[in-house]
Structure 1
Amino acid sequence: MDASLFRIQPSLPEPIYRQIADQVRRLVAGGQLQAGDALPSVREIAAAHAINPMTVSKAYSQLEAEGVLERLRGKGMVVAATARRPQPLAERLAQLDPLLHEVAQRAHDLELPGDEVLPRLRQLMEK
């Protein structure tokens, strides 16, 4: 995995370490990262995104404590053998519910019709 593939947005209210941890969890849940897959080093991610290495280290430590990642001597952080296997579609869709509720509420507040919002969502997903 390339360090530049992480999408880090400092302008979001969510802390950067949580953004990193959530992305790793989603990649494992979706099956893009599997047991034994190596993650970029703390330094690689920090350099690629101009963030403090301690921020990345905090995310990795949290994921290690949860059993998602494990530290292998000489290899760095890898997806743990005990990490949850790819989740069924219904479980992955359920993870989107809070965000979809927020989008629906904002669209309603802005008086945007669904037939205008849904094509935009489809367009964004295809990027």
Structure 2
Amino acid sequence: MPEQFSGSQPIYLQLVQRVCRQIIRKEFPPGGKLPSVRELAVQFGVNPNTVQRVNMELERMGIVESRRGQGMFVTEDESLLTRLRDELKEGELKRFAEEMRDLGYSNEQIIENVQKFLKLN
């Protein structure tokens, strides 16, 4: 089934974020091979050229490396993957805090509600 995409950001950047999340969750482990361009295009319901652009961006970021004739492989650099995980966390926290503040919550109220939520779940 094709993925749902937001109109606020280019599809290839949304896919870069999704693949990064898959790497962080170790769906694609360090040193592991990514699916082929065709496989990812079918999985995400996009043009193979879009996936190729995703791969180029991930390679530029150092998250994956191309091995001629073999495909794309996740970096084995754990410090880079840890930094990526931290960057994703910071981005999510920032978005969450901004949304909560837009709703009128103070920092103290945000913390209190998060603590309540975590106790219930």
Judge same fold: TM > 0.5, yes or no: yes
Name the counterpart of 2:10.
15
Q: 2:96 aligns with which of 89, 97, 100?
A: 100
Q: 2:62 aligns with which of 63, 67, 92?
A: 67
* 1:50 and 2:22 aligned: no
Aligned-residue offset at 1:53: 1.1
Any gaps of 5 or more consecutive residues in structure 1? none
Name the counterpart of 2:81.
85
Name the counterpart of 2:33.
38
C-alpha offsets along residues 45-96 of structure 1, whole Å, 9 cap, x if unaligned? 2122321111111111011122111112343111023461335986653231
Kindly indicate which of the two structures has a greater share of residues assigned to helix.
Answer: 2
Tell me if the contact between 1:31 and 1:86 (Cα under 8 Å) persists in the aligned partners: no
Normalised by the length of structure 1, the TM-score is 0.63
Aligned-residue offset at 1:24: 2.5
Q: Which amino acid aligns with 1:56?
A: V
TM-aligned CA distance change 1:89 to 1:16, over 3 Å: closer
Any gaps of 5 or more consecutive residues in structure 2? none
Shifted more, 48-57 versus 30-39: the winner is: 30-39
Q: Which amino acid aligns with 1:101?
A: A
Runs of 4+ in 1 over 4 A off after TM superposition: 87-92
When the two chains are superposed, the root-mean-square deviation of aligned CA atoms in Å is 3.6
Q: Which amino acid aligns with 1:85?
A: L
Instruction: Give identity over the alignment, percent.
Output: 28
Q: Which amino acid aligns with 1:62?
A: E
Q: Which amino acid aligns with 1:94?
A: E
Normalised by the length of structure 2, the TM-score is 0.66
- Alpha-carbon distance in structure 1 between the residues aligned to 2:84 and 2:21: 12
User: How many corresponding residue pairs?
Assistant: 112
